[in-house]
Amino acid sequence: MNSIRIYILFLFFGFGVHNVQSQSYHFKTSGFSVLEKTERGKWGKWSDLDLVNLSVVLDTDKHRIVVYSQEIQLYNILDYIEREENETDIVYSFMCKDNDGRECKLSIITRKKQDYRKQLYINYDDHIIVYNLFMV
């Protein structure tokens, strides 16, 4: 009977004291491209894809997305936009402020019909940056 009490005590202690970990998602990039508005305010053409190997972290505990490029890009999440899904894509979007205090919208898009390829879009009023992502 005494051993059962000790077992229950350890079981209770094990459930009562557990580590709470933040939810963070780690990605690597394989390339990026940029789209800019022309002087007339119309969207130009996407730049050629540049190969780049960077780390990207979505940290929902700290409410931020970090792109570890030569100059670290820090995006503080202001609002989590409801998940969208359609026949071709799954989209998680976030309204953010960057290092300079500029508002932008970041979206992680999973392309269902492209072997579930992931992309990160960083949308500003005058330009868009896209990174091809894969989970690590």
- Tell me how far apart the alpha carbons of residues 49 and 46 are, in angstroms, rounded to a whole number: 8
pTM: 0.82
pLDDT in tens, 45-76: 999 999 999 999 999 999 999 999 999 999 99
- Tell me how far apart the alpha carbons of residues 88 and 107 are, in angstroms, rounded to a whole number: 15
User: CA 9: distance to chain centroid?
Assistant: 41
pLDDT of residue 9: 36
**Cβ neighbours of residue 86 under 8 Å, at least 6 residues apart?**
none
pLDDT range class, residue 22, cuts 50, 70, 90: low
- Tell me how far apart the alpha carbons of residues 80 and 106 are, in angstroms, rounded to a whole number: 10
Long-range contacts at 61-66 (CB < 8 A, ≥ 24 apart): 61/22, 61/23, 61/24, 62/22, 65/94, 65/96, 65/106
- pLDDT tops 80 at residue 102: yes
